[in-house]
Amino acid sequence: MELFDAAFLKELSALHAALLRLRGSPGEGVARAGRAAGQSEFRGHRPYSQGDDLRRLDWNAYGRLGKMFVREFERERHEHLTVLLDCSRSMAAGTPAKHVFARHVAAALGFLALKAEGSAALFPGTAIEGGTRVGKWLDALRAAEPVDDGTLGPRLKAAAEGKRAPSDLVVISDFMEPLASVETLTSLSERRSNITLVQVLSPDEISPRFSGGADLLGLEEREELRLTLDASSLAAYRAELEAHLEALETLCARHGWTYALAPTDTSLRALFTGKLALVGGAA
């Protein structure tokens, strides 16, 4: 099955149009709340990467240094979206698979940012810029399949310790791991990054209905476990999950991060007009 088929691309266009209608004129529909339209205060330079607008090259800097730099403005900095996608094996679970829905969310985030004449980067890759580069963004997401060694913790640590702090970082994961790894992102808050956590879970993970015996295979640990589920074990699971979700939400609230629980049966429109209404290019 095609990850981004014609129906999905049509859904992205409809989502973009709906957000513009909700927020007023096209010029206002993609601006972060409180940001002046057309704001263009000069902030500095960044190295040129393939796909950047050539009109923003600083030729004087090239003449002095022999290297290509792009002039960066305050508006551009706020519209630069970085998506860190969990590619660990646990994202292959669920029906539909969590990694499919996660990449659909990432596709929508990048689509909206690029249509806002901003840029989007799939960590740790380079930024893609401009409304005509949506195809390149989708190609990057097509390649982001779950892998055996794709653990989330080290990638969060790498993002937190990067030389350049992203202006807007969105982490899409099931976050089924100790919160200590997520807490490494607090250093980015100190560097004035806007952080959003999108927790993708399947409906069966949120509210399991199965009972009886089952042979389980850990997707990441590769260990087999024989498990018998009854009413008490399901109740214990739900209690542990609720505590974990509450702890993650509390962590986000403490640091001023946006948190969105996104079951895989959620519509993109509901997600982006609700919990993600002010994230990246969707704002």
* pLDDT, tens only, 213-257: 555 444 455 555 556 667 787 888 889 999 999 999 999 999 999
> Are 121 and 80 a contacting pair, CB within 8 Å?
yes
Positive or negative torsion for Cα 13, 19, 23, 27 = negative
| CA angle in degrees (0–180, nearest 5) for 103-200-112 | 45
- pLDDT higher for 38 or 107? 107
What is the mean predicted confidence (pLDDT) over 59-66? 81
Q: Which amino acid is at 165?
A: A
Task: Name the burial class of residue 31, with classes exposed (0-12), middle (13-18) and buried (19+) by CB atoms within 10 angstroms of its CB.
Answer: buried
User: What is the structure's pLDDT at 174?
Assistant: 95
37 sits in which H/E element: none
Q: 6-32+79-282 in CATH: which number?
A: 3.40.50
Domain ranges of the chain: 6-32+79-282, 42-75
**pLDDT of 5 higher than 90:** yes
User: What is the structure's pLDDT at 22?
Assistant: 77
Which whole-number Å values give the CA distances from 2 to 110, 155, 161, 244, in the listed order? 19, 27, 35, 33
**pLDDT of 11 higher than 90:** yes
Whole-angstrom distance, CA of residue 87 vs CA of residue 82: 15
Q: Please, what is the average pLDDT of the chain?
A: 82
User: What is the structure's pLDDT at 34?
Assistant: 33
> Are 80 and 280 a contacting pair, CB within 8 Å?
no
Lowest mean pLDDT among 46-55, 96-105, 142-151: 46-55
> Are 230 and 211 a contacting pair, CB within 8 Å?
yes
User: What is the structure's pLDDT at 122?
Assistant: 96
**pLDDT per residue over 130-160, tens digit each?**
878 899 999 999 999 988 676 899 999 999 9
